[in-house]
A and B are shown apart, each in its own frame.
Chain A
Amino acid sequence: MPFITIAYLIFLAAPVLLLALGSFGESWSNTLLPTGFTGRWFAEIASDPSFRRAFGTSLEIVALTCALNVLIGLPLAYAIQAGARGGLRIAARLVTFLPVAVPELVLAFGFILVFSSDALPWLGSFWLLAAGHLVLTLPYTVTALLADMDQLDLEAFENAAATLGASFAARFCDITLPLLGTSLLSTTLTVAALSIGEFQLSNLVSGFLSRTYPVVLLQAFYGATGFACAATIVLLSLATIASLTSSLTALAAGAGKTTA
């Protein structure tokens, strides 16, 4: 069994390792491994205006997606948790979860159809792209928050606080937020990881000036191998940081729950 695990890990990690090697290789054609050592591919990406712009756009989209997820996802999860019973609750969960089941391509075509009309001519705008990312990531936020609310038995604490005289606002600040804090942070970082790597929808919906990093990355594959590798590594690093911090906060939250 350990052998299979190790083989699987190598299988998973090999492409990434090769990308990392390639990004520092002088040239790589018709050989198993690249030859020479250089940092110039990273320098080239850093000085490429379209990559710089895309990198900035990606960070803005990620930040906005995370913020919107918290601003919309938390109240939404809260409303489903507190208000919805039985059939309504299942329906609400289904609707929030639908974007996960529907292929992103379908969603993107829907966006193109609706937002290329004269009435709603927003296709290619930054805000529409952010909205697209929100639709794709919101299910994860709502589902994770609902699960944590159930597990924490948030309703019991809120009821207790209410009988002790706490208004809705006081309950939200004193009970809900502190208890859901770690869960919210972990969810937000997951959303960031999803948003950073998102390609399908961004590729179809983004405009020339609002392209995200993965969309521009596609162009890199038409150029030098080293340049493509370096461009991919940049994206990979961002995604890895988001995923790692997300897992670590989730782990910390889990540890907190077992001691509590």
Chain B
Amino acid sequence: MMLRYENVSYTYPATNTGVFDISLEIGRGELLAIIGASGCGKSTVLKLLAGFMKPDAGRVLIDGQDVSDRLPETRQLGIVFQSYALFPHMRLWENVAYPLKVRGVNRSERRARAAAMLARVGMADRADDHPAMLSGGQQQRVALARALVYEPRGLLLDEPLSALDAALRLEMRDEILRVQRAAGIATLLVTHDQEEALSIADKVAVMRNGRLLQVGTPRELYETPVNAEVAGFVGQSNLWPGQVAGDGRVTTAFGALACDTGGHQVGSSVTVFVRPERIVPYSEESGAANGPFTGAVMADRYLGPIRRIDLAIGDSLIRLETHLREAVTSITIPPDAVRLLPAH
């Protein structure tokens, strides 16, 4: 079970928007999430795999088989739609059994397999209800059961959690991951919620304007983003313009920072990238490899376990996160927290 895009491009008729040169691979049991702002093309990528659109260039492969020209009904994929799309005139077990019905499975076996699948998503006791009687989370479970009952070659999730409220979203996130792991199925998740993607995906692809910016593990994306766009989209970040100086330092508007400048020419412009939680409030014992820098507190947000503070130093803004409860006006930035990205 493997899903694969090879240099796939699609342009919407009479526009210049679409997706361009997409190459992705999702292995057996792997969960790949595509994230990006709305309109970035992530849903188009899903539709190309589902078969609702055909690529203008490149190939879409399922288990090594080119399916670019195949109709959706022949692709053997399970899809959970944003609206769930449960058939309102069918009972839950009939909904789940529908893929079996069109495959010619007899009624008693259909019923049994649908019941088993409903049990796997915790909906066994509702088999004879109609979809209208269910809450959003319950419909979500049934949609997942229906998408997996015929052992498809891949699972596609299109913003599956966006219609649920926050608490239920966390619960269903774990539920989807549990069912996906149990089925050991290659899964493509499309979402605008980067936290959702980072928490359940094996690999995350960041898209912008129809192109892939970076594909990597959540950790790679968070710690070593390839550019300022990825850094800015995934989590909180400080992104300052800077210039590489000769002595293993980079100069910024608020001062020079010691860091690893390997691979960058002296004098070249860069974007200096530091995650807020890597910035340390200055104290005697912490010392100061870089700084200390002292500024005025512009914002101090209490977020429960941490505070997110914006310090202004001249025209620069430094965002940091700390679990300290005391006032913070001086900070230091450890050299290994600083990464240099290409200039904007």
Q: Could you tell me if B89 and A165 are in contact, using CB atoms closer than 8 angstroms?
A: no
Given contacts A156-B83, A159-B72, A260-B132, contact A164 B102 (CB under 8 A): yes
User: Which of A157, A170, A259 sits near B85, CB closer than 8 Å?
Assistant: A157
In this complex, what residue of A is CB-closest to B98?
A: A164
- Chain B residues near A179 (CB, 8 Å)? 87-89
Within 8 A of A (CB), among B277-330: none
Residue B42 CB within 8 A of the other chain: no
Q: Could you tell me if B88 and A260 are in contact, using CB atoms closer than 8 angstroms?
A: yes
- Chain B residues near A163 (CB, 8 Å)? 50-51, 72-73, 75, 77-79, 156
Given contacts A163-B78, A164-B102, contact A153 B72 (CB under 8 A): no
- Bound complex: CA A160 to CA B88 (Å): 12
Given contacts A153-B83, A157-B85, A178-B89, contact A166 B98 (CB under 8 A): yes
Given contacts A163-B75, A165-B76, A166-B73, contact A259 B132 (CB under 8 A): yes
Residue A68 CB within 8 A of the other chain: no
Given contacts A157-B87, A160-B85, A259-B132, contact A174 B73 (CB under 8 A): no
- Chain A residues near B130 (CB, 8 Å)? 260
- What is the size, in residues, of chain A's interface with B at 8 Å between Cβ atoms? 19
Contact string, A147-184, partner B, CB cutoff 8 A, digits 1/0? 00000010011011111111100100011001100000
- Chain B residues near A164 (CB, 8 Å)? 73, 78, 98-99, 102, 146-147, 150
Residue B81 CB within 8 A of the other chain: yes
Q: Could you tell me if A170 and B78 are in contact, using CB atoms closer than 8 angstroms?
A: no
Q: Could you tell me if A165 and B85 are in contact, using CB atoms closer than 8 angstroms?
A: no
Residue B168 CB within 8 A of the other chain: no
Within 8 A of A (CB), among B124-156: 130, 132, 146-147, 150, 156
Contact string, B56-78, partner A, CB cutoff 8 A, digits 1/0? 00000000000000011111111
- Chain A residues near B344 (CB, 8 Å)? none
Q: Could you tell me if A161 and B75 are in contact, using CB atoms closer than 8 angstroms?
A: no
- Chain B residues near A170 (CB, 8 Å)? 102
- Chain B residues near A174 (CB, 8 Å)? 87, 98, 101-102
Q: Could you tell me if A162 and B73 are in contact, using CB atoms closer than 8 angstroms?
A: yes
- What is the size, in residues, of chain B's interface with A at 8 Å between Cβ atoms? 29
Q: Could you tell me if A167 and B87 are in contact, using CB atoms closer than 8 angstroms?
A: no
Q: Could you tell me if A162 and B71 are in contact, using CB atoms closer than 8 angstroms?
A: yes
In this complex, what residue of B is CB-closest to A258?
A: B132
In this complex, what residue of B is CB-closest to A162?
A: B72
- Bound complex: CA A160 to CA B156 (Å): 12
Given contacts A165-B76, A165-B103, contact A156 B85 (CB under 8 A): yes
- Chain B residues near A167 (CB, 8 Å)? 73, 102
User: Which of B81, B83, B87, B99 sits near A165, CB closer than 8 Å?
Assistant: B99
Contact string, A68-102, partner B, CB cutoff 8 A, digits 1/0? 00000000000000000000000000000000000
Least CB distance from B318 to A in Å reads 47
- Chain B residues near A165 (CB, 8 Å)? 73-74, 76, 99, 102-103, 150
- Bound complex: CA A20 to CA B52 (Å): 59
Within 8 A of A (CB), among B21-73: 50-52, 71-73
Q: Could you tell me if A156 and B81 are in contact, using CB atoms closer than 8 angstroms?
A: yes
In this complex, what residue of B is CB-closest to A85?
A: B13
User: Which of B52, B74, B102 sits near A159, CB closer than 8 Å?
Assistant: B52
Least CB distance from A180 to B in Å reads 11
- Bound complex: CA A175 to CA B73 (Å): 14
Contact string, B76-120, partner A, CB cutoff 8 A, digits 1/0? 111101010101110000000011011100000000000000000
In this complex, what residue of B is CB-closest to A164?
A: B99
In this complex, what residue of B is CB-closest to A166?
A: B102
Least CB distance from A151 to B in Å reads 12
In this complex, what residue of A is CB-closest to B85?
A: A160
- Bound complex: CA A162 to CA B102 (Å): 10
- Bound complex: CA A59 to CA B99 (Å): 43
- Bound complex: CA A167 to CA B89 (Å): 19
In this complex, what residue of B is CB-closest to A175?
A: B87
Least CB distance from B86 to A in Å reads 8
In this complex, what residue of B is CB-closest to A170?
A: B102
Residue among A153, A161, A165 facing the most chain B CB atoms (10 A cut-off) = A165
- Bound complex: CA A174 to CA B87 (Å): 10
- Bound complex: CA A161 to CA B51 (Å): 13
Least CB distance from A203 to B in Å reads 43
In this complex, what residue of B is CB-closest to A167?
A: B73
A-B contact pairs, 29 of them (CB 8 A): A153-B83, A156-B81, A159-B81, A159-B85, A160-B79, A160-B81, A161-B87, A161-B102, A163-B77, A163-B78, A164-B73, A164-B102, A164-B147, A164-B150, A165-B73, A165-B74, A165-B76, A165-B99, A165-B102, A165-B103, A165-B150, A166-B73, A166-B98, A166-B99, A174-B98, A178-B89, A179-B87, A179-B89, A259-B132
Other than A162-B71, A179-B89, give 5 A-B pairs with Cβ distance below 8 A.
A161-B87, A162-B73, A164-B98, A165-B99, A175-B87
Leading 3 A-B pairs by shortest Cβ distance: A160-B85, A164-B99, A162-B72
